[in-house]
Structure 1
């Protein structure tokens, strides 16, 4: 067992909510203009205070705080993804400071690999994401906005550890963030380390063929991350910044531990999961009415996946075993021009370009295959604010995907797939915001959105069970939303949204007859699907007094497969609730209790695999030793609930944590 040193002298703050000036404004895409118009928006923001209060150390768990969001565990790959109002992670791309960071091959990214220690806020747009993001925001967008220093010298550190239900230490974390703002220039940097040696199942788990209970088999992971940002601010309006980020990790994949005998456990490990990014962002104002923003980026993604023969994880000899390696990269950029020349209007024109390159070795000894796509986007967006209480936003874009290269491997020789022509997509959307009275806002939106098929969608053989389809067309969605939000009695923030989405040309699997696959039956992805998502969200936060604070949100989601109504919709609960109650009995102590309820969810379309409904509760105590020093102790899954987001891939049982936090 590895025994890292717990650096008690290197400690960090659980910060309060960051003020606007602490946020890297260049990384915010959906800017609402004047400060008094901030309320005229349907964008939802998770602040650093929200993240810290609930100890959400990774992006997936942080997003799970919001209504309309449900966690998906892609158990066979040990990847944590999300569904946003029924749209999966490929249909709701991830951005970092407005830069796309999803994996070029399949459009997904494991959100557990992205820690939150260096994030200033998370912006989430549901259904009506701005056309300025670029392609593929079919169901919305998630933008991780980094921090920006405001003082001449500032720093915060955190260190902590976790224990399982037997009080065996199994998790360690340390994170450092620092910054300096010298007026003309600034620097912001950070580094984090987390190591989970193993985790333990609930005591309610009953042994299966591949899992005997107790410590979960093959359940470790380690992640390192570092970044630095250099910025130049020659005047009050202009800013130029370059950021470098590097993260590396390794993870194991716990095998299937359910009771479905048709599923064969996979014995997988990821020896490395590495990502490196460099990007430049700038804003230059000309006169009083004209602004130009530039962005350019280069992103690499490398990983290795080993599939072993058995649970000993020491040989790769059987036909289903392999040693696969990806070496992907993305580069691109864009320009955005904005003007406020016309009274009460803010017009923005944008162009973006992106090239995705996927290179893989399916197994040791095979030649490397290469795939490449180009993506173009031309967008126009205008905000019209006739009065302080009324705002309209309209946007439209034209997007194009071009196949540059796609190599097939036949008898250990590379040949070219037939390349289809360029695929086009059009988006158009509009929204209206009205301040009904001082503290009540109404909003409504309609958006026609699209998503291009990924390289994996078009060219993957799915481990021998599928045939490629290079001619796949974009998916389309028509998203509607009607909402209300407001404040009451200077202590209650509340709101509700009603949403409906009609998804056409959905990429779905079709069973093929009279074809040969290495592992039949054979299927192919085709544009044959039509789906509908309908739901509502309710949320409220009450700052009752200086001692008490409460929050509640509820989501009802009804997904319907119109094309195949006999199939169950996968991985999303019909009902989800999250709530917390915070109490500060004395100046030096803060207590928090939170709970999450998820309705049952289906893990296959026939409904034979079901992840049961569950309630999970958490407790935390924070000791405020000094305004710059605190200590946290808590327990997650208090009742040791046996639960899963995907049937057969159970989550942690009861576990404990302790953190010490310091800021300067």
Structure 2
């Protein structure tokens, strides 16, 4: 039975889950016995073990290797099949120049002629300090500054058929995806244990921020032909890229044309394990690069009627889920992007872009909770618009100025219904929530070579966020249709009630300074600091008792700092170490949301803080194997958590700075070509998260202690490539509706991708996911898809 927005079928009522014992029993029945076996690999990784691992990394870095080290720009034929842990060298000011030490300053510098046409401006723009990658075909002005991190390429998302950001980013070591569960149906990402509040998301370096709560759904962001790469900063996020970045940053980078005419078209169709059609994805890109300008246009559409559960799934509440098609799992997303750029010479570039994406989604119901303990929600629209510009201008031979300006809007509607059929709104559980947000601002960053061995950069960021919201509420009353108070009870409203618009407005600023010192031709030291501050201009709410009112305003500020060292100790490998102290301002939701009357505000909520340490190595072993590894540790303070307090004669929740703790772990990746037609590889992440909490029994949810992916890539015939792969994860913490915590989600999923290039640039592909039809879940009551197949074709020209 498929309960979608168009078809709501009937079901039967089943029992509820109430105790920890029942939770474990439910987990075994619904998700398989393996998911309740404790798999606390991270708990077994002691501090002493991590210290020994770090020492091993440092010792390994001293060993010689035999080929050229992995640099910022990797040739297409050298790109690993899976994203590795990557070491990026700091950018110098002069485009296309190597890092310059005192002894090499006059011999290694290459400055393009001032009379150059500009056709190669962006390919070398990595030298301006704005981006982790300057590879051809990538809009490098839209990049972020990466020190250690990971880049997921367009080719990798195609090979493994990862059509959305949550799926694609999880290919990277140190990044895990999860299901937000509950009625929101949101796909989540964690970067070394840090969540969506603590890891900013940007598109071409422009922040995607929802000023009310910033509860981003990563499943709404498509990874089509127009996305060149996904840049992931982990732990260390450069102060030059603006505020936030407590645990890293994620950046979607679009394409930049390299030829007079180029394009790409992708078309895929998805089928359930029994062959039933479930949806399609279409993606296209076209671009032209002329002597003094370039133009691009692109778009993606994903339309899905939903997905099927594993055949091993055992229904426990047929009224909400009876197996087969996952009820209310349909989604629809589309995006367009156009870009125009001017390149008057070899160093300068001026571009403007427009991006629009729209989506709608259902919200699958909890598979266990009884009918009277469900929330029947729907998202009829989830839309984002953005207009932004980038410029880079050379000043003399050793200085540059970059600018960025943007205007973003975000609209979404959330509707709650009375029943699983989503067809009536008459009770106090029903509402329609409307959000309308806008943000605008910009940044300027500049750099100069103070000496031949010293580069100084500075940046200033400003953004204004405006949030407007109102609800239409439904209660059992026949005494009118306008908002107001009934009789002497201040909490009873006439029905239905449409609230007045509530408005919040806030300014955020950041000023940063960063210095790169080339100690020797092989050693770079990077230091930096920033000061962030935020001015809250207005914060409104509405209740039936008080009407429209303003909260007490309170501003915030924070200092950040960083330091990093990279040693290219030979021509074939690098070792690096970094430390950064970052802060994250709380959202309006955390400070002021009443949670539909169940919470009280905390205007003075302080920023979260984290000091992140990392030691890593990347290079080649035995002349061919690309290997990389990193050890990381984060000391987290003022962690924001929700606690229950007594207030006005009742018990309410409130966000408070009560958590201190630590996140630590290890990442490793390898890509090993065995023959010209056969290679193997994969990556592994181990992580442990410990946090203090005054509420006993509360656990940090959503992140497995261990995760990894392994693959074999084999080309048995010309044009044919087979890529079988296995994705693995240990258990993670979750909680049921009775606030009982238990472990869930251990899985091993077998997949395979088969590609046939029938002519240059034209490929047919067949992908099978979850071949064994494993039944598993990442959060209580919300199982993951069973076996599925994708058939597709890609044409490049």
TM-score (norm 2): 0.78
2:671 to 541, 562, 578: 541
Q: Residue 433 of structure 2 corresponds to which residue in structure 1?
A: 324
Deviation at 1:463, TM superposition (A): 2.8
Deviation at 1:527, TM superposition (A): 1.0
The residue matched to 1:545 in structure 2 has which SS?
coil
Matched, 1:233 2:343: yes
The residue matched to 2:472 in structure 1 has which SS?
coil
Q: Residue 691 of structure 2 corresponds to which residue in structure 1?
A: 561
Q: Residue 646 of structure 1 corresponds to which residue in structure 2?
A: 779
1:487 to 600, 620, 623: 620
The residue correspondences of 1:383-462 to structure 2 (distance < 5 A) are 383-411=516-544, 414-462=547-595
Distance 1:646 1:177 in 2: 36
Matched, 1:63 2:174: no
Q: Which moved more, 1:588-597 or 1:558-567?
A: 558-567
Task: Pick closer, same or farther for the CA change 1:515–1:547 going to 2, 3 Å.
Answer: farther
Contact 1:403-1:419 within 8 A present in 2 as well: no
Deviation at 1:362, TM superposition (A): 2.1
Q: Which moved more, 1:208-217 or 1:46-55?
A: 46-55
The residue matched to 2:609 in structure 1 has which SS?
strand
Contact 2:735-2:779 within 8 A present in 1 as well: no
Q: Residue 455 of structure 2 corresponds to which residue in structure 1?
A: 346
Distance 1:514 1:346 in 2: 55
Task: Pick closer, same or farther for the CA change 1:433–1:321 going to 2, 3 Å.
Answer: same
The one-character-per-residue Cα deviations of 1:565-612 (angstroms, maximum 9, x if unpaired) are: 742221111111111111110112110111111111111396534323
Matched, 1:108 2:215: yes
Task: Pick closer, same or farther for the CA change 1:476–1:499 going to 2, 3 Å.
Answer: same
Q: Residue 24 of structure 2 corresponds to which residue in structure 1?
A: none
1:171 to 263, 279, 286: 279
Contact 1:532-1:562 within 8 A present in 2 as well: no
Deviation at 1:514, TM superposition (A): 4.9
Deviation at 1:516, TM superposition (A): 5.6
Task: Pick closer, same or farther for the CA change 1:500–1:261 going to 2, 3 Å.
Answer: farther
Contact 1:65-1:578 within 8 A present in 2 as well: yes
Contact 2:165-2:219 within 8 A present in 1 as well: yes
1:378 to 511, 517, 520: 511
Matched, 1:139 2:247: yes
Contact 1:104-1:358 within 8 A present in 2 as well: yes
The one-character-per-residue Cα deviations of 1:143-193 (angstroms, maximum 9, x if unpaired) are: 111100011111111112111012111111111100000120000110111
Distance 1:335 1:603 in 2: 43
Q: Residue 143 of structure 2 corresponds to which residue in structure 1?
A: 28
Contact 1:60-1:80 within 8 A present in 2 as well: yes
The one-character-per-residue Cα deviations of 1:271-317 (angstroms, maximum 9, x if unpaired) are: 11111000011000011011000100001010111111111110111
Distance 1:235 1:96 in 2: 26
For structure 1, the residue ranges without an aligned partner over 5 or more in a row are 3-14, 32-40
1:625 to 758, 771, 779: 758
Relative contact order (alpha carbons < 8 A, sep ≥ 6): 1 or 2 greater?
A: 2
Distance 2:649 2:627 in 1: 56
Distance 1:514 1:412 in 2: 16
The one-character-per-residue Cα deviations of 1:476-535 (angstroms, maximum 9, x if unpaired) are: 111111112221123211122111111111111121125466xxx521001111121111
Q: Residue 52 of structure 1 corresponds to which residue in structure 2?
A: 158
Contact 1:432-1:445 within 8 A present in 2 as well: yes
TM-score (norm 1): 0.93
The residue matched to 1:456 in structure 2 has which SS?
helix
Distance 2:786 2:752 in 1: 14
Q: Residue 10 of structure 1 corresponds to which residue in structure 2?
A: none
The residue matched to 1:467 in structure 2 has which SS?
coil
The one-character-per-residue Cα deviations of 1:61-97 (angstroms, maximum 9, x if unpaired) are: 1110111111121122111111111111110010111
Deviation at 1:19, TM superposition (A): 7.9
Contact 1:484-1:497 within 8 A present in 2 as well: yes
Task: Pick closer, same or farther for the CA change 1:535–1:96 going to 2, 3 Å.
Answer: same
Whose Rg is larger? Answer: 2
Contact 1:120-1:146 within 8 A present in 2 as well: yes
Deviation at 1:257, TM superposition (A): 1.1
Distance 1:366 1:638 in 2: 50
Matched, 1:591 2:722: yes
The residue matched to 2:524 in structure 1 has which SS?
strand
Deviation at 1:458, TM superposition (A): 0.8
Deviation at 1:641, TM superposition (A): 0.7
Distance 1:344 1:416 in 2: 57
Deviation at 1:451, TM superposition (A): 0.3
Distance 2:743 2:472 in 1: 34
Task: Pick closer, same or farther for the CA change 1:417–1:603 going to 2, 3 Å.
Answer: farther
Deviation at 1:418, TM superposition (A): 3.1
Q: Residue 298 of structure 2 corresponds to which residue in structure 1?
A: 190
Contact 1:392-1:431 within 8 A present in 2 as well: yes
Deviation at 1:563, TM superposition (A): 3.5
Matched, 1:295 2:295: no
Task: Pick closer, same or farther for the CA change 1:261–1:569 going to 2, 3 Å.
Answer: farther
- Indicate the structure with greater helix content: 2
The residue matched to 1:571 in structure 2 has which SS?
coil
Contact 1:273-1:304 within 8 A present in 2 as well: yes
C-alpha RMSD of matched pairs (Å): 1.9
Contact 1:509-1:523 within 8 A present in 2 as well: yes
Contact 1:93-1:107 within 8 A present in 2 as well: no
Matched, 1:355 2:464: yes
Matched, 1:601 2:732: yes
Deviation at 1:413, TM superposition (A): 6.0
- Indicate the structure with greater strand content: 1
Q: Which moved more, 1:22-31 or 1:227-236?
A: 22-31
Distance 2:388 2:155 in 1: 27
Q: Residue 707 of structure 2 corresponds to which residue in structure 1?
A: 576
Distance 2:547 2:172 in 1: 46
Distance 1:567 1:267 in 2: 26
Q: Residue 258 of structure 2 corresponds to which residue in structure 1?
A: 150
Matched, 1:89 2:196: yes
Contact 1:449-1:476 within 8 A present in 2 as well: yes
Deviation at 1:263, TM superposition (A): 9.1
The count of aligned residue pairs is 639
